Structure 1
């Protein structure tokens, strides 16, 4: 059975509450009285100051007022001059438990303590706060990084091997210098092309190798500077093909030496072969590298990329190789050619001096392989512009090793020992 009296009372309360919400009046003292949305009268408090005198008498003095209904900046009004502070305190007491958190920090509440008590914690890496007493930190945009105080974002520095820095200028100067030296050696060989030393070293192959070395040196210039689209396409391709031509020339030289020596023996297999083998090796070996590069460029070509993940405060402008498989395949094929050339040259090093180029080729290929074997771990551990520096250094060092070991001894004989540039000396006869 329902109690109608209770229902009547509830309805009456609701009706009364509806009317109370609209009540607003002013007291004789000038205070505004009204009810808020939840039926409460906004609180108003007087702020009293307990003032104790030397004769142990005291009194309460009204020094301010707190009005909860006012705006945040007007809720408290104080008459500072009316306040009598305790003489034991040398400064005004703080009204909060914790000091305000400065910009670059965020607030963390302390468990079991009042809301005004909190800890200030620096923002995490990559985040900032640009206002005091911030509850959360905000992340900087992807292309920006917090400043030292973590209260603002700065543009990230774009890093690449530039011509404007010492390392870039040094490598570029070395590249041009070595290329010029290579062309000078080519001119020397061309000028003295009819001398026995140049003839004995297969003039046409020497020209091809020297031109290939000059291109190898110059290819390192493509690695310096801001990486653009066409530069990324040229970098590895020019480097890989030019080195394949040079190493193939070395291999062809060695095979030619062996065939010439074999042809001097009666009933030797070398007599059944001619220069077509050498030309076939010289043409086929670089062609396979060209095919690898064409397939690479046609399926997954290199492209410029802004790497924002390797270093949190730096944008690395680099060339993405597109396909690591083709990049490793290009280097692997070049290493295979160099290894085969080294082995064949090593086997021919004992041939008579009258036809022997094997010793020079063996040592030059040993230098070449040593440089690139050291290059692999250094390349894998480097990043950013250091990675480019490692590759450029490997290109210059290996090319310089081939040039010095194979051609400088002959240039010395041509320029400074003409008495040794004779048929008798080349053939090993007194």
Structure 2
């Protein structure tokens, strides 16, 4: 069977040799000739031909002359990689140059095995890369490869060319690298189509260009590519479609690498790009969205002013402060009445101001915690209660002495009024000292409560030293206990002697609130934990305000006829029933250095 393809190659070679001989810029002063043999596309015939070239047909010792007697300077061929390899293994023994024109097998680039072999066709490595680039361009991963079961099909398509370079008649620049491969060129990308005459035609739809260090796939957008599919659209060639964002690939054991399962990312992990092998972990301040395709900022939790709970607590705090200030105004306006005079006006004013501090200190617990607010809120609360309870203690000590006076028939020495103020001062200074040490040594700090599987960041205050915190509030508890004990001892004062009974009841409310607070506080978390503490602050403050001052304000404003010396006073049950004692007289007498009792002898 006549090989028209090989015949065309032969005519091309003859034309090329003729052109080289006619040109003066290529091999000047040399004339090339040629002798053509047919290897019949068999290895045995190719090797025979190689020996014929080397021996001059008759001899088996190489004399590097052909049958015409001319010197043999090189061999062109053969027409296939396998044949060129076979011939080259013989020719290389004698360093005979060999130029291939269709042999593209990458093995021929190995200069250790084929040091004298050159070719005018690119190595199939570049063709393979062009095919892979084209496959990637269309997104195909499930691809079958067909290759011959010989040296040509076992090797890919490889490399580069050897120092020699020239320009062809059509302006193309030909250059070889050190491996004897072409250094630059291109492949036509052909598409099998049916032409207008109904014949099969191969239409050029693009190119794959290669240079020394650059590769480019050129597929114009207006290329008319025919796809032989039912839809005439680009076919899918995948075992498994690309995993969408939010999932990761899990390779199926025992199957090709392009066959995999798409597994959703775990909480806190995302895959933003399609086809990711692994999911990426979000930062500590971020969390995965519902689709697991993007890291988003975690929800931040703290008791905010804007939310209903925070706004309600702010209103209650402000309202409490306004009520206390209203009580203060009432006391100032009616400061000369018996009921107000009988209750140590200076200490009453200190109690009222301390209650303003405590109810307003609850607002420091609302809003996003900051270092300064964490440091201020517990200290302000502790100092406010210390001032309040130490002032109440000054009153209860007066009641205690009043009770002792009523029980004795002798003249008792009372504490000086300034002493009660000193008690308040000493208690407050002691509390300030502990609070200062607390803030200097182990102050509270804002911190973010971030749990690995938590979609929220809870902004809280780390209270620092628990020992210091227990000390400052423990001192307040001690003051409250002393207030309760002293008023409890003096509970037998007259029924219309309001001070002792009011303070006793106020301390009971105070203890009930804070005892209930402990389990509720320990069982909650986040902003509700803060809300529980604010409720306790407001409840205890409202309790002190309501029990100590509202009954007196009720008499002052609504029952002014009862605000008299006679009504405020009363008979005290004593050992000697003749002793008379009024709250006004007790307060008046206790404002002096000594207190006298009226004795009927």
CA distance in 1, matches of 2:561, 2:388: 30
In 2 relative to 1, CA 211–122 (structure 1 residues): closer, same or farther, beyond 3 Å?
Answer: same
Provide the C-alpha distance between the structure 1 equivalents of 2:350 and 2:229, rounded to a whole number of angstroms.
100
* Two-structure CA RMSD over aligned residues (Å): 4.3
Match of 2:174 in 1: none
What is the CA–CA distance in structure 1 between the aligned matches of 2:438 and 2:116, rounded to whole Å?
81
Give the structure 2 partner of residue 150 of structure 1. 292
8 Å CA contact retained: 1:363, 1:405:
yes
CA-CA distance at 1:159 after TM superposition: 3.5
Per-residue CA deviations over 1:238-259 (Å, capped at 9, x if unaligned) read 1110111112222222221111
The DSSP-based 3-state class of the residue aligned with 1:362 is helix
Of 110, 113, 121, the match for 1:19: 113
Matches within 5 A, 1:240-259: 240-259=382-401
Q: Which residue of 1 aligns with 2:502?
A: 360
1:41 aligns with 2:135: no
Given the superposition, is the C-alpha separation of residues 372 and 96 from structure 1 closer, same or farther in structure 2, using an over 3 Å criterion?
same
* Conservation of the 8 A alpha-carbon contact between 1:229 and 1:303: yes
Q: Deviations over 1:97-153 (max 9, x none)?
A: 433221111112233443233222222222111111211111223333222212112
1:182: how far off? 0.4
Q: Which residue of structure 1 lines up, in the alignment, with residue 32 of structure 2?
A: none
1:414 corresponds to which of 556, 559, 569: 556
Q: What is the match of residue 375 of structure 2?
A: 233
- Whole-angstrom distance in 1 between the partners of 2:553 and 2:394: 21
Instruction: Work out whether 1:275 is the aligned partner of 2:416.
Output: yes
Give secondary structure in 2 for the equivalent of 1:106. Answer: strand
Pick closer, same or farther for the CA change 1:265–1:350 going to 2, 3 Å.
Answer: closer
SS at match of 1:400: helix
Gap change, CA 1:354 and 1:22, over 3 Å in 2: farther
2:477 maps to which residue? 335
**Residue 190 in structure 1 maps to residue 332 in structure 2:** yes
**Residue 212 in structure 1 maps to residue 306 in structure 2:** no
Deviation digits for residues 209-254 of structure 1, max 9, x if unmatched? Answer: 1111111112122223343443333211111101111122222222
Q: Does 1:165 align with 2:307?
A: yes
Q: Choose between structure 1 and 2 for higher RCO, CA contacts under 8 A separated by at least 6 residues.
A: 1
CA contact (8 A) 2:403 2:490 kept: no
Distance in structure 2 (CA, Å) of the matches to 1:124 and 1:207: 61
CA distance in structure 2 between the aligned counterparts of 1:310 and 1:113, rounded to whole angstroms: 35
The farther-off stretch of 164-173 and 403-412 is: 164-173
Is 1:303 the counterpart of 2:445 in the alignment?
yes
Q: Which range is displaced more, 133-142 or 111-120?
A: 111-120
Report if aligned partners of 1:216, 1:399 keep a CA contact under 8 Å in 2: yes
- TM-score, scaled relative to structure 2: 0.57
Say if 1:22 and 1:382 are closer, same or farther in 2 by CA, change over 3 A.
farther
Distance 1:310 1:224 in 2: 26
Cα distance 1:199–1:41, how it changes in 2: closer, same or farther (>3 A)?
A: same
Answer whether contact 1:23 1:34 (CA < 8 A) is retained: no
1:374 aligns with 2:374: no
Label 1:246 to 1:112 Cα distance change in 2 as closer, same or farther (>3 A). same
Cα distance per residue 1:22-70 (max 9 Å; x no partner): 966478xxx855799x9952179xxxxxxxxxxxxxxxxxxxxxxxxx9
Match of 1:121 among 257, 263, 273: 263
SS at match of 2:457: strand
Change (3 A) 1:226 1:32: closer
CA distance change for structure 1 residues 25 and 183 in 2, over 3 Å: closer, same or farther? same
**Structure 2: stretches of 5+ with no match in the other structure:** 1-92, 94-109, 129-150, 159-209, 219-223, 572-581, 583-601
Whose radius of gyration is greater, 1 or 2?
2
The alignment covers a number of residue pairs equal to: 395
> Taking structure 1 as reference, are residues 192 and 310 closer, same or farther at Cα in structure 2, changes over 3 Å only?
farther
Shift of 1:409: 0.8
Partner of 1:222: 364
Separation of aligned partners in 2, 1:310 and 1:245:
43
User: Retained in 2: the 8 A contact 1:349–1:357?
Assistant: no
Report how far residue 198 of structure 1 moved: 1.5
What SS does the aligned partner of 2:407 have?
coil
State the distance in 2 between where 1:253 and 1:365 align: 13
Deviation, structure 1 residue 323: 2.0
In structure 2, what is the Cα distance between the partners aligned to 1:196 and 1:187? 17
Secondary structure at 2:412 match in 1: helix
1:65: which partner in 2?
Answer: none
* Contact persistence 2:400–2:486 (CA under 8 A): no
Distance 1:146 1:396, change over 3 A: same
- Checking the alignment, whether the CA contact within 8 Å between 2:288 and 2:296 is kept in structure 1 is yes
Contact map agreement 2:124 2:157 (CA 8 A) in 1: no
Contact 1:349 1:356 in 2 (8 A): no
Distance 2:217 2:481 in 1: 82
Q: Which runs of 5+ in 1 are unaligned?
A: 1-11, 45-69, 86-90
Stretch deviating more after TM superposition (340-349 or 411-420): 340-349
